[in-house]
A and B are shown apart, each in its own frame.
Chain A
């Protein structure tokens, strides 16, 4: 696969890991946060932690849009779809996320019309094909995904398609990073920046992290070589006592971002004054909702939404894991009450949530694994 396989070349991975080990100061303990859930997933999928020296700790950040979605919002979306005229559509990521009465898939088993879509455009097409039903698209995602929802809504409006609406749970990444840095029990040395969000917002929005917080950021791609090279970059900066934003993912990320995408978002969305992030609490100006000019395509305006707040069980330490204060296995519920099969918190539901990733890919690896790695 072009533009994929080259960045998985084993020899280069070994070489880059060696460079990391060469750069890491043995007297120093590095805490590097990868913001984006996609990076968390990639780190586990490619076993990258096995390649890092012990004094480099990767902290998993809050960039998992499924993980930070409060349970009440899932209940709200499902409540709308209780109406038999409504077809509930969402990405596969949402299907197993539990609301208080069960997940979308569980509702499907009980008779609700729930369908997985790969693209918001597919949800719109479904509305076109089913004029006597109402298609509701449960939108999630950061700035990577919001522009696609925006374009879809613009198209719905242009086509005057009224049997379509979006239940909008898009969130923005910068406030989440701010919340992490503002957290008193936080100590992060550098960031691996979200590469795909940055194709939309560019690299400028991270400049305050370097200027005001004095932390290096490498905006990173998602292949093993991308992530490893990003670690090289921030290590070099730390070594030189520097803090700048570097674009590791140059082949894809434009420094100024994608103007057309930002235009589409501005046309359709506005910032909510505040929004609740599961595990992080209420954060102002951190989420999107549809503008008044798109009220007709806003599920929250078209339908009655219960809007009930659901608090997580006190024992669930999702917030601390999200902020990187605790490792997944340090949460008391991890592996016992809370497993991917019966998740208590959302970090265990989404496959990129730190707890699920850790549970699925890591925690049964024993110390013998490093010697096993040289099979054949």
Chain B
């Protein structure tokens, strides 16, 4: 139920729109794109593969966003502690340069309501 791997679309078939060849570090397999027919991937797109079917497109932007959030872990905390050291406990909705708009699913460290 859960084993799904990211693969890159490396070949499409004009006469078979619901089929593609995906590549996972050199391993290739034909997969069925039927579940993505509302928004078919193009060559170069990354998709999540499960039992020979593409389940979802992978958003590189979201992946980068996630990595940024994780890298900022601890840094915002350190920054917060520094700020608190100056007596500025209330955050005023502080935004860091790294992530001006926290996305709904990922909470920025230190930007919690407790500081409001």
Contact with B along A10-25 (1 / 0, CB 8 A): 0010011011001000
C-alpha spacing A264/B55, complex, angstroms: 13
* Chain A hits for B106, CB < 8 A: 233, 246, 248, 250
Residues B1 and A12 in contact, CB atoms below 8 Å apart? no
Is residue A199 contacting chain B, with contact meaning CB distance below 8 A? yes
Residues B35 and A151 in contact, CB atoms below 8 Å apart? yes
Tell me the A17-39 residues at the B interface (CB within 8 Å): 18-19, 22, 36-39
Is residue B38 contacting chain A, with contact meaning CB distance below 8 A? yes
Asked, given contacts A91-B51, A141-B1, whether A2 binds B105 with beta carbons under 8 Å apart, the answer is: no
> Chain B at the A interface: mostly helix, strand, loop or mixed?
mixed
| A40 closest partner in B (C-beta) | B2
* Chain A hits for B107, CB < 8 A: 233, 236, 246
Query: Which of B2, B8, B63, B107 has most chain A Cβ within 10 Å?
Result: B2
Tell me the B33-75 residues at the A interface (CB within 8 Å): 34-38, 46, 48, 50-53, 55-56, 58-60, 62-63, 65-67, 69-71, 73-74
Asked, given contacts A3-B46, A38-B1, A141-B1, whether A240 binds B62 with beta carbons under 8 Å apart, the answer is: no
Residues A37 and B1 in contact, CB atoms below 8 Å apart? yes
Is residue A324 contacting chain B, with contact meaning CB distance below 8 A? no
Residues A151 and B66 in contact, CB atoms below 8 Å apart? no
Residues A121 and B2 in contact, CB atoms below 8 Å apart? no
C-alpha spacing A141/B51, complex, angstroms: 11
| B71 closest partner in A (C-beta) | A12
Residues B112 and A236 in contact, CB atoms below 8 Å apart? yes
| B24 closest partner in A (C-beta) | A1
Asked, given contacts A15-B70, A15-B73, whether A260 binds B36 with beta carbons under 8 Å apart, the answer is: yes
Is residue B77 contacting chain A, with contact meaning CB distance below 8 A? yes
- Give the contacting residue for B1; candidates A120, A145, A240, A248; CB below 8 A: A145
C-alpha spacing A41/B1, complex, angstroms: 12
Is residue B97 contacting chain A, with contact meaning CB distance below 8 A? no
| A140 closest partner in B (C-beta) | B1
Residues A145 and B37 in contact, CB atoms below 8 Å apart? no
Stretch from A251-259, A272-280, A286-294, A304-312 that touches the partner: A251-259
Is residue B114 contacting chain A, with contact meaning CB distance below 8 A? yes
| B52 closest partner in A (C-beta) | A119
| A257 closest partner in B (C-beta) | B56
* Chain B hits for A264, CB < 8 A: 34-35
Tell me the A89-124 residues at the B interface (CB within 8 Å): 91, 118-122
Residues A1 and B70 in contact, CB atoms below 8 Å apart? no
Residues A144 and B2 in contact, CB atoms below 8 Å apart? yes
Shortest C-beta distance, B35 to chain A (Å), equals 5
C-alpha spacing A41/B8, complex, angstroms: 25
* Chain A hits for B5, CB < 8 A: 4
Query: Which of B77, B103, B107 has most chain A Cβ within 10 Å?
Result: B107
C-alpha spacing A38/B34, complex, angstroms: 24
Residues B1 and A36 in contact, CB atoms below 8 Å apart? yes
C-alpha spacing A48/B112, complex, angstroms: 26
- Give the contacting residue for A151; candidates B24, B25, B34; CB below 8 A: B34
Residues of chain B having any CB pair with chain A under 8 Å: 1-6, 8, 24-25, 32, 34-38, 46, 48, 50-53, 55-56, 58-60, 62-63, 65-67, 69-71, 73-74, 77, 103-107, 109, 112-114
Chain A to chain B: the 6 pairs with minimum beta-carbon distance, closest first = A38-B2, A119-B52, A3-B6, A251-B62, A247-B105, A148-B53
